[in-house]
Structure 1
Amino acid sequence: MFGLEKKDKPLFEFDLEKELKGEPGKTKELLKKTDEAIQEIKSKLRQGTESEDFESSGKLLHGYAALQRVLTRIANKK
């Protein structure tokens, strides 16, 4: 019947993933920069900062961690 056929859904790809498919060197470079930023934020958090800075640094750390997961996913697919 209409609309009851089983169709394969295309795999979800991030915009960044589509952009970096052709440039494997760029992926490694971004991974390196992301790792450096994560280590820098972690060291600032360990040293202790004001509560406002602590909260914003924590959010920034989570964002970088998410970016790192996406980049490693892209690097492992190739």
Structure 2
Amino acid sequence: MYGLEGSKNDKFDFDLEIDLKKNPKRADELLKKTEENIASIKNDLREGAEKKDLDKLGVLLQGYQAMSKVLKKAIKS
């Protein structure tokens, strides 16, 4: 019947997550480096980078924050 069959949505793991679950020490290293890069970019944005670089730094910051989120998820599970 409708809605009673098993869940077809299996949990999706990124390739990076699979590798980091096998090697948790590497995950800690990557997370530390990512957090350092985030802090550096935020510092550059606070100090006032050139106008043409602001958009690039914003996109880069969002990418690092997404990676940090994935790394934290991989470490947690």
Tell me the TM-score normalised to structure 1 length. 0.87
Q: Which stretch shifts more, 62-71 or 50-59?
A: 50-59
Note the alpha carbon deviations across 1:22-62, whole angstroms, 9 max, x for none.
10000000000000000000000000011210110000000
Match of 2:32 in 1: 32
Aligned-residue identity in percent: 42
Q: May I ask how many residue pairs the two structures share in their alignment?
A: 75
Distance 1:18 1:75 in 2: 11
Match of 2:61 in 1: 61
RMSD: 1.5
Q: Which runs of 5+ in 1 are unaligned?
A: none
Tell me the TM-score normalised to structure 2 length. 0.88
- What is the deviation of 1:7? 3.4
Q: Which amino acid aligns with 1:74?
A: A
Q: Which runs of 5+ in 2 are unaligned?
A: none
Match of 1:14 in 2: 14
Distance 1:6 1:51 in 2: 54
Q: Which amino acid aligns with 2:32?
A: K
